[in-house]
Homo-oligomer: A and B are copies of this chain.
Amino acid sequence: MEAMSEDVTAQAFDLNAWSQVQLQRTEAALSAWVGVSAPAGLGEAMRYAVLDGGKRLRPLLVLAASEAVQGNAEAALRAACAVELIHAYSLVHDDMPCMDNDVLRRGKPTVHVAFGEARALLAGDALQALAFELLTPEGEAVPDAMQARLCRLLGAAAGAQGMAGGQAIDLASVGLPLSEDQLRQMHRLKTGALLEGSVLMGAACGQVAAVTQQALKDYGAALGLAFQVVDDVLDVVADSATLGKTAGKDAANDKPTYVSLMGLDGARRHAAALLQESLAALERSGLRDTQALRALAHMVVDRSH
């Protein structure tokens, strides 16, 4: 009976309504914190890169994980914004001519097209610094130990053994045949590290046992990989208008993808298996309030863009 009533709760959870509330707070915070009083057009470029765009999956993961552990709300909001700034800066730099040379992002001209390459470079750099500034407010609202831990997690997720490292592998692997293991390793770093880091940062806003921490890490890892597999599928099946970015780019750039490796159906089955893996990890966590995390995992796999 108890299991059944839990199931009813899960079905009754309204992800859209929940997300709307969380995103409203997140957008307001980002707007208040990003590019304010930055000099010489830098603030405009930073705001352009961050505001009014994207699914905000990473902030939602932070906030959902923090909710699951009854975390410090101020810390969670700051962490949510910080991971989004890292994500946003990576897109700005990734779109630049020396990297992917992309002109369209979220349906708008990319930052270097709108503001010039030099300012895009600087805006990305400043966004990364701002992420760490947001995590370290003066005063008592976020305990020192939490600030330190959040910076540690974000630094690791963003750096050479996280996102930046994954981008370097991506860069080096264009035109090369990759095994599934190599492809997984690339994505584990390139997109996975920051998605997993988002979950861990949300968890770091509360107090959790080691077993819960590990389960949330497993959830984040499976979800992160599922996200990329679905991205590869969408790059093939969706059009640019739906994606808000240039579709078919990976094939055009001769980049290895899950679809090129497993075929379209194989990749879809793989995504479904990873969804189950992430849900199983949540069950292992011992946490009760995981509806939002569960719903986000479903959303990642079922999304159309």
Q: Chain A interface (Cβ within 8 Å of chain B)?
A: 35, 37-43, 46, 89-90, 93, 96, 98-99, 116-119, 121-122, 124-126, 128-130, 132-133, 135-138, 143-145, 147-149, 151-152, 154-156, 158-162, 164-169, 171-173, 189
Shortest distance in angstroms between A9's beta carbon and chain B's nearest beta carbon?
37
**Pairwise interchain contact A35-B160, C-beta atoms closer than 8 A:** yes
Q: Which residue of B lies closest to A120 (CB)?
A: B98
**Pairwise interchain contact A169-B132, C-beta atoms closer than 8 A:** no
Q: How far is the CA of A35 from the CA of B160 in the complex (A)?
A: 7
Shortest distance in angstroms between A195's beta carbon and chain B's nearest beta carbon?
16
Contacts of A121 in B (CB 8 A): 93, 96, 98-99, 121
Q: How far is the CA of A270 from the CA of B125 in the complex (A)?
A: 32
How many monomers of this chain does the complex have? 2
**Pairwise interchain contact B172-A155, C-beta atoms closer than 8 A:** no
With most chain B CB atoms within 10 A of its CB, the pick from A126, A128, A162, A164 is A164
With most chain B CB atoms within 10 A of its CB, the pick from A89, A162, A165 is A165
